[in-house]
Each structure stands twice: as C-alpha cells, then as structure tokens.
Amino acid sequence: MSQSSASSDPAQHNHKSPNNMTAASTTDADGESSSRVDKLARALHVPESFIPSLTDRRQWKNFIRCMLVTFGTMVVMLAQTSLNKIGQAAFFGAIMSQMLPPSMALSIYIFALLTLLIGLCFGWAWGVAAMAAALRARDQVLLQQEVSREQSAYDTTANIEAQYQASIFRGAFLDPRASVVYGVFLFVGTYFLGFLRATKPRL
C-alpha cells in the first residue's frame, strides 16, 4: 500500500493538467511581453506612471476604440460628400469625440450622451432666442442701407453669394443694438450655468 501510494505521488507531480499548463504559458507570455514593454519604455524614456498603461489590455482596447471614433469623425469632416450635406457643423463630431470619448461603460456612456444632448438642445434654444431678440432690436432701415451699399460694390461677373458671405464675415452688417442683445444673452446664460455648476456640482 505504501509503496503503491509512494510510486503514484511522483506521477501526480510529474503530470500537470492541461489547464495548469495553459495558465503557466499565458503567464510566461504576459511576463515576457511586459518585460519587453518595460525595456522599450526605458529606452524611449517613457514616464514611470505611464508604463502600466502600456501593458494593460483594457487601456489598449479603449485607445483603439477612441481612435476609431476620432478617425470616423475626421473622415466625415474632410469628405466632400458629407461636408456638402452637413456643412460647417461637421467639425462638431470631431469636437465631441474628444470631449466625450467612448472610454467608459456602455450604460454610463449612453447616459453621458443623453446629458450632452440635453445641454446641446438647451444651448440651441438659448441661441435661437438671442437671435430672435437681436433681429427685433436691429434697425431695419440701417440694415437696408448697409445691404444696398455692399451690393453696389459687388462685381457682377463674380460669385455674388461668395461676396455677400465675405461681407458678413467682414462685419459690414453689424448693428450695435443687436450686438448688445447678443452680449446680454451670453452673459445671462454663462452666469446661470456657472451658478448652477457652483451650487450643484453633481449635476
């Protein structure tokens, strides 16, 4: 009995299970990859606080996901077909990919997107209200005089719409009363959001 048990013990020690062998090989591979990354990081003078992120698979998955989203928004912004459909607002996608990258859990990310959407809708509504109030405060007679003066200087052989847009960007149709209304709306909106942020930081 004792001899048989003694003879079976070395067999048990010598023969490892496949699961243990797989786990051991995985651990060895991870150790080799981490050591290679450590050597490369020291050669490139990477900060010590950044080295653990280089060996974390979760961090690499988040990085690849964020880069894919950023690349997609850049394609939408630079492709002429999508740019003709969306217009100048195409760069908002690239901005949002940096302000709210997809590096969090799906449920939390959806909640953050909904919160951001509510904020965008509120900002859009506030801007529309400011524009409506500024148009009411604008002197229509002065506006017609400015438009007539600019149109008389346009080159009829060139693109009239492009010249009109250039006049807008040059500030040829600015009205002090409308600018004051925009300033008041900007101050009130900024003060309200700052006050809300200071008193309700969890929001």
29-42 confidence digits (pLDDT tens)? 555 666 776 777 77
Q: What are phi and psi of 156, to 5 degrees?
A: -70, -20
Q: 0.75 exceeded by the pTM?
A: no
In the chain, what percentage of residues exceed pLDDT 90?
Answer: 21
CA distance 120 to 112: 12
pLDDT tens digits, residue range 161-174?
A: 888 888 888 888 88
**What 3-state DSSP class applies to 17?**
coil
**Residue 88's pLDDT band (cuts 50, 70, 90):** confident
CA distance 162 to 167: 9
| DSSP states of 161-200 | HHHHHHHHHHTTT--HHHHHHHHHHHHHHHHHHHHHHHH-
Average pLDDT, the chain: 80
pLDDT tens digits, residue range 100-125?
A: 888 888 888 899 889 888 988 999 99
pLDDT value of residue 34: 66
| Least confident stretch, 8-17, 49-58, 62-71, 92-101 | 8-17
**Residue 3's pLDDT band (cuts 50, 70, 90):** very low
